[in-house]
Each structure stands twice: as structure tokens, then as C-alpha cells.
Structure 1
């Protein structure tokens, strides 16, 4: 989508995704005492001091990936949340999940991309850890990396709609995310459904 190339649009997307992921992480932090959560390679010993938004801005700045990669990375995070319910996004793993999802998206989407060592430097981790994160993320997705044009359009449409609803401030809008009740991101649908069902979802998003 050509409008993704606009710096102003990208700034809004990064701001919105950061806010979304942060609220998911904070919600799951609160729920950690009531639901079983596995410890994985994504789990850090302490919460990183850099904010989620600053971290995502850093990734986009230095990774030099295409704007579409952020959307695809968002799709991957949603899939990961659905397939790994015992590994919800929280404050201890969100940064590692972000750098890994963007790296995997860049490798899948872009003709040119940096190697794992470079992404490790961008993410502030070791190359060995980056390699382990990539492998675990791929297995967590069951290697389901393909994003169809219709799926990409649905996620873009959702983001565009929510960004309009959440202006300004981000916290005051009547969002359909219901993040306080769900540890998942949002669009939890079966991407292998028929085109008719996808058209119905697109119509619902447009309402």
C-alpha cells in the first residue's frame, strides 16, 4: 500500500502498535498471578529500560526494512499469541518478540535484509541469543510465514480504522481491542477461511 511509505503514516503506525503491544503486555503482567505462563527464551531476567515505542522506532530506523514489514511483524505476533497461549506477551518478553518478528518479516518480505548479527546489535542482544530467538519464533508459528494479500489488507484496514478512532489521546477512544480482557492482540481469526468469510470480516471492519 503506497500510503505506508509516508513518514507521517509510519510514525502513526509505530505509535499505535507500540501502544497496543504495551497495553497487551501490561494486561498480561497483571494476569500473571492468575494464569500459567511458561518461561521461554524470549523471557528476560529484568524489564528492559527502553520503552516499547523507542525500541520499535530504533528497530525501524536501523533495520532499514520496508514499511510493510511492520504490518507483517504484527501479523506474526498475532499468530504467535494464538498458537502459544502459554507464552503471552508481557513486559519481560515483548522486546525480544518485537525484534524477532521484525527480523523474520524482513527476511520473508524484503529482497535485501541484514543478517542476524546486525539485528542482534540493533536489539541489544547477542548473536547467539538472536539465533535461538529466531528458531523458537519460527517453531512457535509452525513456520506459517505466508501472509496473503487479503490478510495483509485486513490488518492494514484494522490499523487505519483504529488509528482514526484513537486520535487523540490514544487511551480515551472506545477501542474494540478489549485488551483488558484478552491477552491476545486483536485479529484472532482463521486465515485459511474461505474468501467469503474474509469478505464478511472486511465488511465488519468497515462498519
Structure 2
């Protein structure tokens, strides 16, 4: 799906997401609730030398997933932190959380995606580690991967509004993030319908 391939919009989306995660990570680094002894599988021993923005740019450049995956990955990160309040996004885990959430979003959203070994190479971690992180993330989400159209559009609108606050010149219909989401919304409607059909069959 290539519906969000407006370079200006995507560059600013990645810049905003990076800035958001950077602020959250730095805030939690100083948060007294963060106990370094209570670490998760996503925690590294040291802070990665690559910045969050450069890391996300690398993922965007090489992962080749649909831009809609970044909205869904953001939904997943939000759900993960809500369901796992003891795991705070910080400088030691944000990179692994990013590559894992984007990979899972690509598998859920895209018809074509790479295997785990490729995503591991993009993320700069081992295949064994990314396999483990995927399982840990899925259990952390409670396997709640479905994103209905209303949720998708809500998150998309939020991201779009924040992008426009930072870059008012983007506030045009042609560069609107939401104007590129019609195919994603249709896909989510389809998946929602399929899930309902499966539930009906199960009953």
C-alpha cells in the first residue's frame, strides 16, 4: 500500500514521531518510577549511539513497509504502554520497541513484507533477539492487533494536527495525512468484517 507516499508528509511524520518518542524517553529517563532493576526484554545495556530520528529514518528507508504502518505502530506502542505500565519507554528500550512495533504492523497491514531476519538487520539486532522481542511484544499487547477504522483515523488525525502545528505550511488538502488513508481504512474495514464473520462462525 503506497497511499501515504507524499515525501513531505512522511518526512514530517517521522520527524514528529521521533520528537515525541524522544521527549517521552528523556522524561522517563528522569522519572523516579523507573527502576533499572525492573528491566524488560527490550532494554539494552547502554543507550544506542544512533538517535531515535536517525533510527526511524533507517527503518523507513529499508523496511519498505506502507506508511500507514507507522500510524498502526504508534497505536501498538500506545496500547503496549497502557497494558504494561511497569515498562516505561526510555532511552534504553525505545529503539527495540520501534523496530518491533513497525515489523508487527507491517505483517498485520501489508500484503508483502520481509522476514524477521531482514528486520533484524535493519534494526541492528540479532534474529534470535527480534524473534524473542516479537513474542514478548505480542504477549504484552495481549495479541490485540486489530485497529478498527475509527481508531486508525483518530490516531491519524492526532498525528496530522501535531504535524501541522509544527509545520503550518503543510496545512493543505494535498499534503494532508488523512487524505492518503482511504485504502488503509478500506483494508481495516475489510479486516473488521472478516473478524466479525469469524466471530459469527465461532458462535
TM-score range, shorter chain: 0.7 to 0.9
Answering whether residue 70 of structure 2 is matched by residue 79 of structure 1, we say: no
Q: Which residue of 1 aligns with 2:58?
A: 58
Q: Which residue of 2 aligns with 1:49?
A: 49
Q: Which residue of 2 aligns with 1:110?
A: 110
CA distance in 2, matches of 1:151, 1:12: 21
Deviations, residues 94-127 of structure 1 (Å, cap 9, x unaligned): 0000000000000000000000000000000000
Per the TM alignment, residue 46 of structure 1 is displaced from its structure 2 partner at its CA by: 0.3
Per the TM alignment, residue 2 of structure 1 is displaced from its structure 2 partner at its CA by: 7.9
TM-score (norm 2): 0.79
Q: Which protein shows a greater Rg?
A: 2
> What are the equivalent positions in structure 2 for 1:140-159 lying under 5 Å apart?
140-159=140-159
Q: Which residue of 2 aligns with 1:90?
A: 90
CA distance in 2, matches of 1:102, 1:127: 16
CA contact (8 A) 1:36 1:86 kept: no
Is the alpha carbon distance of 1:50 and 1:11 closer, same or farther for their aligned partners in structure 2, counting shifts above 3 Å? Answer: same
Question: Once superposed, what is the RMSD of the aligned Cα atoms?
Answer: 1.6
Is the alpha carbon distance of 1:3 and 1:114 closer, same or farther for their aligned partners in structure 2, counting shifts above 3 Å? Answer: closer
CA distance in 2, matches of 1:2, 1:120: 23
Q: Which runs of 5+ in 1 are unaligned?
A: 169-207
CA distance in 2, matches of 1:34, 1:129: 27
| More moved, 158-167 vs 124-133 | 158-167
